[in-house]
Amino acid sequence: MMDSTVPLADYAELRCVSNFTFLRGASHPEELVERAKKLGYTALAITDECSMAGVVRSHVAAKEQGLTLLIGSQFEVEAGEPLAPFTLVVIACNGNGYGNLCEFITRLRRGSAQKGCYRLCAADIDP
């Protein structure tokens, strides 16, 4: 049985999608921030898929809740045969990183023939 007097270690969720990641995320960004605060998280990273759509709402909610917000995005990467596709999570460390991430998303979205789609291959990622 766990002793309730022992404090839990700091915890930050580093991969969380909001309802802006269609067909995967169910909760509004504000709800995710509120729940993270209630659970005692020290930070929360909103990482919608190839999007920054939930950032503004989560930023406002995080300021109100006094929770550290990490801003990022995640991408499905085609690795090529014989490897399976994988998920790449990117979190911006500063304003410059935020700008680079937004530029990266824009480039992926503009390179797709269909609106709302993107394609990222492992060979397209600089190590």
Residue 70 neighbours by CB distance under 10 Å: 18
pLDDT in tens, 39-97: 999 999 999 999 999 999 999 999 999 999 999 999 999 998 888 999 999 999 999 99
**CB-side neighbour CA atoms (13 Å) of 15:** 8
Residues 6+ apart with CB under 8 A from 87: 74, 75, 76, 77
pTM, two decimals, is 0.86
pLDDT band, very low/low/confident/very high, at 7 (cuts 50, 70, 90): low
